[in-house]
Amino acid sequence: MLNSRISSLEEGSLRQFHTQRAFPLNIHPPENQESSRRSSDWSISKSNSLAFIMDLNYKATELSLALPGTDDLPEMNTTTTSTPIKTNKRGSPEMGPSETDQSRSTPQAKAQVVGWPPVRSYRKNALQGKKVEPEMGSGMFVKVSMDGAPYLRKIDLKVYKSYVELMKSLEEMFSCIIGLYNENEGYKGSKHAATYEDKDGDWMLVGDVPWEMFVTSCKRLRIMKGCEARGLDL
């Protein structure tokens, strides 16, 4: 059986090809949104060609026009649908990773095909990134490490209004006493010092600069053990 299949293919017979082929030709002017959405639905379902081949009923419900003169396609009715939502839903489970632009509101939910239009992800990310205001309303998460702790934590600096609030939260998180360094009193009764890495990559002591400046320049936090915090007299 394999041999006959092979020879039929090699002879260029279209018989085998036709039984497998099930690609309705959609030719319709993009006069309304429904028809243009249909064409992209077609391509979504095409990408799962196996299911498509097997399920001829699916094909029968497809709304499309056949190309005049092609007689190997079944006649199809063209109906303008008034339920665009239905066609969208049928398309969506078969889609690959969708590439929705979250930050842009579109008038209608457009079915999206994987990898189309052919724009590099680098560019897509850059364009989408433009629409999102950096660091505003989306939190400012920084990593917090504590010497000796097996895991790091992340905190949102936007949540706090002052150093005091931050320190309190850190102390609770790591069950330790940090406190703020004070020129006169040193670290009152604490064995840890809070440091942070700023934009230039330098490690600074928490508390020197105004709170707002700290929030914008802090990249990550590190709670050092007392013995490592040189010059702090712990």
Partner 1 sequence: MVYSLPEEVLEHVFSFITSDKDRNVVSVVCKSWYEIERKCRRKVFIGNCYSVSPGIMIRRFPEVRSVELKGKPHFADFNLVPEGWGGYACSWIDKMSRAYPWLEEIRLKWMVVTDESLELISTSFKNYKVLVLASCEGFSTDGLSAIAANCRNLRELDLQESEVMDSSGHWLSHFPDTFTSLESLNISCLGSEVSFSALERLVARSPNLKTLRLNRAVPLGKLSTLLQQAPQLVELGTGAYLSGVRSDVYSALSKAFLGCKELKGLSGFWDVDPSYLPAFYSVCSRLTTLNLSYATIRSPDITKVISLCPNLQRLLVLDHIEDSGLNALALSCKNLQELRVFPSYLYVADANVTLTEQGLVSVSQGCSKLQSVLYFCHQMSNSALITIAKNRPNLTCFRLCIIEPRTPDYLTHEPLDIGFGAIVKHCKNLNRLSLSGLLTDRVFEYIGTHAKKLDMLSIAFAGDSDLGLHHVLSGCEILKKLEIRDCPFGDTALLANVAKLATMRSLWMSSCAVSIGACKILSRKMPMLNVEVTDENGTLDPKLDSCLVEKLYVYRTVAGPRSDMPGYIWTMDRDSANKI
Q: Find the binder of partner 1 among 93, 97, 150, 231 (CB under 8 A).
A: 97
The beta-carbon contacts of 42-51 under 8 Å, at least 24 apart in sequence, are 43/113, 43/116, 44/91, 44/92, 44/94, 44/95, 44/111, 44/113, 45/90, 45/91, 45/94, 47/94, 47/96, 47/113, 47/114, 48/94, 51/94
| Count of residues that bind partner 1 according to CB under 8 A | 58
Pattern of binders to partner 1 over 51-90, x per CB under 8 A? Answer: --x-------------x--x--------------------
- Residue 136 near partner 1 by CB under 8 A: no
Of 148 and 201, the one with the shorter C-beta distance to partner 1 is 201
Gap between the Cα atoms of 143 and 50, Å rounded = 47
Pattern of binders to partner 1 over 193-222, x per CB under 8 A? Answer: ------xxx---------------------
Gap between the Cα atoms of 92 and 90, Å rounded = 6
Burial degree of 223 (CB within 10 A; 0-12, 13-18, 19+): buried
- Residue 124 near partner 1 by CB under 8 A: yes
Residues that bind partner 1 (CB under 8 A): 2, 5-6, 9-10, 12-14, 16-17, 20-21, 23, 25-27, 29-30, 36, 39-40, 43, 46-50, 53, 67, 70, 96-97, 99, 101, 104, 106-108, 110, 112-124, 126-127, 130, 199-201
